[in-house]
């Protein structure tokens, strides 16, 4: 299952870099165009020699967070990850859960995007259905492994926001929901919150 976990982690990192590398960008639609703008800004930070020393790690990640996390709809992701339990929470609890879930994803992606090395991306299709879009791609790693990545986005105030990443037909959000539901069923929502606050819990990509 470690291979599957690495795929999820790489999926988050690939979102940051994919559109800058694909040869199919000429056929891209509006969702791709908007993400590419974000990617171009991120690449400036990643390639800035002044930010490469270990002493500048926090500054580099802070800049990437500001640029890249604007492309994720964390409220929607958190809502879907919590599932039916979302409606049972107060507005204050929902706000706290979004923050905690965002922290989980940040820990999952932070080191991955900085370890990027020669992955090749081919876009299969981009499908838009009203205010929803799917962007499907195949990733070829430097080791010759190939796997599929599908980005799900929706339109929010003229911006396409990613609300799920599907690696090899396995949803990132659905996997977190399975974990969260299990914790709540075996304990309580309060137990889930406690574990989310524990920096050692839910690190990296979710497992089946």
Q: Do 152 and 162 form a contact (C-beta atoms < 8 A)?
A: yes
Question: In this structure, what token pair is assigned to residue 203?
Answer: 């690190």
Give the mean pLDDT per block of 10 residues along the chain (208 residues). 51 50 48 73 80 88 82 92 96 96 78 59 81 84 81 89 88 92 96 87 54
Q: What is the pLDDT of residue 138?
A: 78
pTM: 0.75
Q: What is the pLDDT of residue 88?
A: 95
Residue 77 main-chain phi, psi, to 5 deg: -65, -45
Q: Do 27 and 123 form a contact (C-beta atoms < 8 A)?
A: yes
Alpha-carbon gap, residue 101 to 104, rounded angstroms: 5
CB contact set of 140 (below 8 Å; sequence gap of 6+): 119, 120, 121, 122, 146
H or E element at residue 98 = helix 91-114
CB contact set of 191 (below 8 Å; sequence gap of 6+): 183, 184
Q: What is the pLDDT of residue 26?
A: 37
């Amino acid at each position: 299952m470690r291979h599957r976990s690495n795929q999820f982690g790489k999926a988050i990192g690939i979102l940051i870099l994919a559109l800058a590398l694909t040869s199919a960008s000429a056929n891209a639609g509006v969702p791709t165009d908007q993400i590419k703008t974000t990617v171009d800004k991120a690449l400036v930070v990643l390639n800035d020699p002044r930010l490469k020393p270990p002493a500048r790690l926090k500054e580099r990640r802070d800049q990437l967070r500001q640029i890249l996390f604007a492309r994720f709809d964390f409220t929607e992701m958190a809502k879907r990850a919590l599932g039916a339990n979302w409606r049972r929470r107060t507005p204050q609890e929902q706000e706290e859960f979004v923050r905690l879930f965002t922290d989980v994803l940040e820990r999952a992606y932070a080191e991955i995007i900085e370890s990027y090395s020669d992955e090749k991306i081919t876009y299969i299709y981009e499908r838009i259905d009203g205010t929803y879009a799917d962007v499907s791609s195949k990733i070829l790693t430097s080791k010759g492994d190939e796997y599929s990545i599908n980005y799900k986005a929706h339109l929010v105030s003229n911006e396409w926001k990613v609300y799920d990443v599907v690696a090899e037909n396995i949803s990132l959000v659905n996997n977190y929901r399975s974990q969260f539901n299990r914790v709540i069923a075996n304990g309580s929502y309060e137990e889930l919150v406690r574990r989310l606050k524990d920096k050692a819990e839910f690190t990296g990509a979710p497992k089946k």
